[in-house]
């Protein structure tokens, strides 16, 4: 059994990690930490866990955690993550970091969008953990930068277009919509039920921090620098991201041809489902799972392709992908613990 710790267990990503790890046949959770709930059972913070996990929340003591864990998931806010991760690595743990701290390869870009980086020497080593695109790099890593939720939905949706050079990257427009769990469990007025319910808004227009992460991945896929418009919106649902993406085709592929290319690109992938012609994905059909469902339409009137991708932001967009990365770097079968049937309705 693989001994793992969940550091920062009292957020929505934390509870989702615990849910997935409980169902994982090769994992033992050895430790959960929470400043807010220190000394209380994690099932007090999340009564859903009653009977499944009665661990008591600990404080964030790197040595104590490292002593009983082979792998640590850090589900902390950015900045908090980079303050403790070097310690876990030094103590011999593998780390899957769900914060943004090691996702951007270029320290200057990180510091422009976030803040000063306290361990830039690790940026080169950290591997961006999007297995469908970078599986070979992931296998040997000891530090995984688990991708952001929006960037995951975008990268998987656009990868075939960019890898096959089917579109002009300068025409990319990305319009994304996320469920409210993406805003976290912190008590903020903007996340209150009555503020979100029956509402809908864009936010962070032309300024959201996931923009450089998206551009970094698209640049790798494309082979040349990509700048995009990325507009996130807040959806009145708990879980799910849907990204609608537009680009001008270089050629005249029709919908069936594009779907065929997507199917061949993702043919062997367990967690990507390319929709047949005439069908489009819905966040409701991936709820609670590690799937990314993708629909593709060619608009012959305008010469653009429209791609719609959906994920569960807490699973493929966070905890599920983190478990997938754990499996890869620990030599466990990649799908283990993730073979969940979506909950519908």
Sole binder of its own copies in the list 147, 160, 295, 320 (CB under 8 A): 295
Q: Is residue 79 a contact residue for its own copies (CB under 8 A)?
A: no
Considering only the C-alpha atoms of the chain, give the largest distance between any 2 of them, rounded to a whole number of Å: 62
Tell me 77's DSSP state.
-
CB of 107 to its own copies, least distance (A): 20
Considering the complex, state which of residue 21 and residue 96 has its C-beta at the smaller distance from its own copies: 21
Instruction: Provide the terminal-to-terminal Cα distance of the chain, rounded to the nearest Å.
Output: 34
CB of 162 to its own copies, least distance (A): 17
CB of 207 to its own copies, least distance (A): 8
Of 57, 93, 149, 292, the catalytic one is: 149
Considering the complex, state which of residue 61 and residue 188 has its C-beta at the smaller distance from its own copies: 188
In angstroms, the Cα distances linking 147 to 50, 142, 150, 152, 190 are 30, 16, 9, 6, 25
Q: Is residue 52 a contact residue for its own copies (CB under 8 A)?
A: yes
Site for its own copies in 182-241 (CB under 8 A): 185, 187-189, 191-203, 205-206, 227-229, 231, 233, 235-240
CB of 341 to its own copies, least distance (A): 5
User: Is 53 assigned a catalytic role?
Assistant: no
Considering the complex, state which of residue 49 and residue 95 has its C-beta at the smaller distance from its own copies: 49
Quick check: 62 and 69 in contact, CB under 8 A?
no
CB of 327 to its own copies, least distance (A): 18
Sole binder of its own copies in the list 54, 106, 125, 299 (CB under 8 A): 299
Considering the complex, state which of residue 48 and residue 118 has its C-beta at the smaller distance from its own copies: 48
SS3 239: coil
**Of the listed pieces 111-119, 217-225, 306-314, 319-327, which binds its own copies according to CB under 8 A?**
306-314
**Of the listed pieces 41-49, 115-123, 143-151, 217-225, which binds its own copies according to CB under 8 A?**
41-49
Q: Is residue 173 a contact residue for its own copies (CB under 8 A)?
A: yes
The rounded distance, in Å, linking the Cα atoms of 178 and 150 is 8
| DSSP β-bridge partners for residue 176 | 232, 243
The rounded distance, in Å, linking the Cα atoms of 14 and 20 is 10
Sole binder of its own copies in the list 4, 8, 13, 19 (CB under 8 A): 19
Q: Is residue 252 a contact residue for its own copies (CB under 8 A)?
A: no
Quick check: 7 and 14 in contact, CB under 8 A?
no
CB of 10 to its own copies, least distance (A): 10
Sketch the per residue contact string, 259 through 278, with its own copies: x for CB under 8 A, - otherwise. --------------x-x---
Sole binder of its own copies in the list 66, 93, 123, 308 (CB under 8 A): 308
Structure tokens belonging to residue 59:
């404080």
Q: Is residue 284 a contact residue for its own copies (CB under 8 A)?
A: yes
- Provide DSSP, 84-147: HHHHHHHTT-EEEE-SSTTT-S-HHHHHHHS---S-GGGTTT-EE--HHHHHHHHTT-SEEEPP
Side-chain-facing half-sphere of 124: CA atoms under 13 Å? 1
In angstroms, the Cα distances linking 48 to 7, 34, 315 are 19, 17, 17
10 Å Cβ neighbour count for 82? 25
Name the CA dihedral angle for 226, 227, 229, 235, rounded to a multiple of 10 degrees.
Answer: 60
Integer-rounded Cα radius of gyration of the chain: 20
Active site residues: 149
């Amino acid at each position: 059994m693989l001994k793992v710790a969940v550091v920062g267990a009292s957020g929505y990503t934390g509870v989702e990690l615990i849910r997935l790890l409980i169902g994982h046949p090769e994992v033992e959770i050895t430790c959960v930490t929470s400043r807010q709930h220190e000394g209380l059972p994690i099932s007090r913070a999340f009564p859903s866990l009653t009977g499944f996990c009665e661990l008591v929340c600990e404080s964030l003591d790197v040595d104590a955690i490292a002593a009983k864990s082979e792998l640590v998931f850090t589900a902390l806010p950015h900045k908090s993550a980079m303050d403790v991760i070097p310690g876990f690595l030094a103590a011999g743990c593998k780390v899957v970091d769900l914060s943004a701290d090691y996702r951007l390869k270029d320290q200057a870009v990180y510091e422009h969008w976030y803040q000063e980086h306290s361990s830039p020497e690790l940026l080169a080593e950290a591997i961006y953990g999007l297995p469908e695109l970078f599986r070979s790099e992931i296998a040997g890593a000891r530090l995984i930068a688990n991708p952001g939720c929006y960037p995951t939905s975008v990268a998987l949706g656009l990868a075939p277009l960019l890898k096959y050079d089917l579109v002009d990257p300068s025409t990319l427009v990305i319009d994304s919509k996320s469920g409210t769990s993406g805003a976290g469990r912190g008590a903020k007025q903007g996340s209150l039920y009555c503020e979100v319910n029956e509402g809908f808004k864009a936010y962070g227009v032309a300024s959201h921090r996931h923009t450089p992460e998206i551009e970094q991945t698209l640049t790798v896929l494309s082979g040349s620098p990509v700048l995009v418009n990325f507009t996130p919106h807040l959806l009145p649902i708990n879980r799910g991201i849907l990204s609608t993406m537009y680009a001008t085709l270089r050629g005249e592929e029709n919908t069936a041809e594009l779907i065929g290319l997507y199917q061949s690109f993702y043919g062997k992938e367990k967690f990507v489902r390319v929709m047949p012609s005439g069908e489009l994905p819905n966040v409701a059909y991936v709820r609670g799972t590690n799937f990314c469902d993708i629909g593709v339409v060619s608009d012959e009137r305008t010469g653009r392709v429209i791609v719609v991708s959906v994920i569960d932001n807490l699973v493929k967009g966070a905890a599920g992908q983190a478990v997938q990365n754990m499996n890869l770097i620990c030599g466990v079968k990649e799908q283990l613990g993730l073979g969940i049937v979506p909950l519908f309705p």
